[in-house]
Amino acid sequence: MNLEIEEKQATIFDIQRFSIHDGPGIRTTIFFKGCPLRCRWCQNPESHKSGIEVAFYKERCAFCFDCKDVCPEDAILESEDVRINFDHCSTCGQCVSACMNDALRLVGKRWNALTLLNEVLKDKDFFDDSEGGITLSGGEPTMYSAFLREFLPLVKKEGVHVNMETCGMFKWDNINSILPFLDLIFYDLKLMDSKMHQIYTGVDNIMIIENLSKLAVNFSNLQARMPVIPTINDTQDNIADTVRLLKKNNLETIHLLPYHNLGEAKLPGIKTDLEPLDLPTDNGVYLLSAKKLFENQGIYVI
């Protein structure tokens, strides 16, 4: 399992401006490409692999097959639903350039620290006016610890607030070296039973729980979060175990995130083993039920 990319460049698949749910104020959210987890409900499955890849968006395709004419690897398929033979694709990007409808896209772009700094500073006035800043998301930002050790000091010199969203699956040294440059951490907790965690995310949760306990001691602004996945992690037992972990680490609040299945529409267009979960998407009842279970046990829900 790759937990670190030892380069001073980062592969980023999206930069989302005017975000209001990824920390205080108006924020620019940077989505790093690469993740050690394979959560079956992931909303950004294109973030899993760290390398640049080609993705197909069926709803935009005009079926002209100009892409097929230019592909040097004969990797374009004429199927209605699947366009790319990923075993042949070299991600040269020629099909992307030939597609006039933006149905084929390169997912991921390489950035160095100074270029990314200049990009996010375009939004500095919005940060200052709203007490916002940038949010490191993904994927898993800590995979790019070498890059962040160069990037984050530049950001802090500009007086920009930094939040990081993490799945918690990282080597401790990867985050310990950048803690002085972080103002807030959103820390995801998914399932407390390690075997169930393995089934639904591809890894056990031992390192995730250990890292939470270390951060609770070494970092003062740690916020736990949990995506509420109907019938999977919203059970009384899982929530009770989560409450015990939070209280053990003197954490009194949790963010509950609603599940939606928008990420499933991306699955046919990328190379992935994930399959749709086919879960209910009317989250109101599930969220309120989970909220009540947490609050009945003394954890304030945001």
Concatenated DSSP letters of 3-29? ----SSEEEEEEEEEEESSSSSSSEEE
Which of 75, 106, 137 represents a domain boundary (last residue)? 106
If asked whether residues 145 and 252 sit together in one domain, one would say: yes
Tokens 């989250």 appear where? Answer: 283
Same domain, 194 and 83: no
Q: CATH number for the domain including 77?
A: 3.30.70.20
CA atoms within 13 A of residue 235's CA, in its CB half-sphere: 11
Q: What is the pLDDT of residue 115?
A: 97
Residue whose pair of structure tokens reads 């499933």 in the numeric block: 264
Domain that holds residue 40: 9-52+108-301
Instruction: Based on the fold, state whether residues 206 and 145 are members of the same structural domain.
Output: yes
Is 149 a domain residue? yes
Neighbours of 8 (CB within 10 A): 14
Residues 69 and 145 in one domain: no
Specify whether 278 is located in the same domain as 175: yes
Q: How far is CA 295 from CA 96, 249, 255, 292, 301, in A?
A: 50, 17, 12, 5, 7
Per-residue pLDDT, 283: 67
Tokens of 68: 């097929």
Over range 103-110, report the average pLDDT. Answer: 96
Specify if 19 maps to a domain.
Answer: yes
Q: Which residues contact 57 (CB under 8 A, 6 or more apart)?
A: 102, 103, 104, 105, 269
Q: Which of these three, 83, 106, 129, is where a domain ends?
A: 106
CB atoms within 10 A of CB 270: 18
Dihedral sign for Cα atoms in the order 183, 189, 194, 196: negative
Expressed in angstroms, the distance from the first to the final Cα of the chain is 33
Phi, psi dihedrals of residue 114, rounded to the nearest 5°: -70, -40
89 within a domain of the structure (yes/no): yes
What is the pTM (predicted TM-score) of this model?
0.94
Q: Mark whether 43 and 127 lie in a shared domain.
A: yes
Collect all residues with Cβ–Cβ distance below 8 Å to 192 and sequence separation of at least 6.
205, 238, 241, 242, 245
Domain harbouring 260, CATH code: 3.20.20.70
Q: With respect to residue 4, please indicate whether it lies within any of the assigned structural domains.
A: no
Per-residue pLDDT of 1-33, as tens digits, reads: 778 887 889 999 999 999 999 999 999 999 999
**pLDDT band (50, 70, 90) for residue 122:** very high
Residue at which a domain ends, from 67, 84, 106: 106
Token pair of 91, please? 């991600």
The pLDDT, as a whole number, for residue 261 is: 87
Render the burial of 28-45: b for 16+ CB within 10 Å, e for the rest.
bbbbbbbbbbebbbbebb
- For residue 60, tell me if it sits in a domain: yes
57 lies in the same domain as 47: no
Are 73 and 142 in the same domain? no
How far, in Å, CA of 284 to CA of 11, rounded? 36
Same domain, 99 and 76: yes
Residue 169 lies in a domain: yes
**Residue 281 pLDDT greater than 80, yes or no:** no
pLDDT in tens, 239-269: 999 999 999 999 999 999 999 888 888 888 9
32 and 93 in a common domain: no
- Domain for residue 257, yes or no? yes
How far is it, in rounded angstroms, from Cα 167 to Cα 282?
25
The tokens for 148 are 């962040």
Report the range of poorest mean pLDDT among 34-38, 229-233, 262-266.
Answer: 262-266
Q: Please state, rounded to an integer, the average pLDDT across all residues of the chain.
A: 95
Count of Cβ atoms closer than 10 Å to residue 117 Cβ: 19
- Structural domain contains residue 205: yes
| Highest-scoring range by mean pLDDT, 51-60, 81-90, 200-209 | 200-209
Please name the helix (run of DSSP H) or strand (run of DSSP E) that holds residue 41, with its range, or none: none
Question: Are the C-beta atoms of residues 301 and 294 closer than 8 Å to each other?
Answer: yes
Indicate if 98 and 241 belong to the same structural domain. no
Domain check: are 161 and 211 in the same one? Answer: yes
Backbone angles phi, psi at 297, to 5 degrees: -110, 15
Structural domains counted in the chain: 2
Alpha-carbon span 21 to 154, nearest angstrom:
24
The Cα-based distances of 153 to 123, 147, 159, 230 in angstroms read: 18, 11, 10, 40
